[in-house]
Structure 1
Amino acid sequence: MTFKLKLELASGQSLKGAPLELLADGKPIAKAVVDEHGHVAFDAKAGVAGLAVRVDRSILRSAC
């Protein structure tokens, strides 16, 4: 099954290249990267679960 999303930030900033994870009941089940148009697609097995998407925080830099 493929889950397709379009991400738009209110600030107008791009998420191009951002690694995302699809979570099922809090556990990662798929990974994908945002394209230049804000689109992302996850391939995952069909099932019943609470789904969420999170940004892979390894892309964030420390301000120290």
Structure 2
Amino acid sequence: MTIKLKLELASGQSLKGAPLELLAKGVPIARAVLGEQGEVMFDARPGTAQLAVRVDRTILKTR
């Protein structure tokens, strides 16, 4: 199943290239990269679960 989303920040800033994770019950089930216009598509197996999207935290730099 393909899940299509468009994400927009209230500030108008772009998240282009940000890696995202699709979560089902808090567990990552698919990953994708945000496009130039805020579009993203996830490929996931059909099922029933509460879904959420988060930025993949591996892009965060640690000091």
After TM superposition, the score normalised by the length of structure 1 is 0.91
Which amino acid counterpart does residue 2 of structure 2 have in structure 1? T
Which amino acid counterpart does residue 53 of structure 1 have in structure 2? V
SS in 2 for 1:46: coil
CA displacement at 1:58 relative to structure 2: 2.0
Which residue is 1:51 aligned to? Answer: 51
2:61 and 2:8 map into 1 onto residues whose CA distance is 21
Which residue is 2:13 aligned to? Answer: 13
The within-5 A match list for 1:9-48 is 9-48=9-48
- Mark the runs of 5 or more structure 2 residues left unpaired by the alignment: none
For residues 24-50 of structure 1, the C-alpha deviation after alignment (integer angstroms, 9 at most, x for no partner) is 111100000001110000000000011
SS in 1 for 2:8: coil
Aligned residue pairs, count: 63
Runs of 4+ in 1 over 3 A off after TM superposition: none
- Mark the runs of 5 or more structure 1 residues left unpaired by the alignment: none
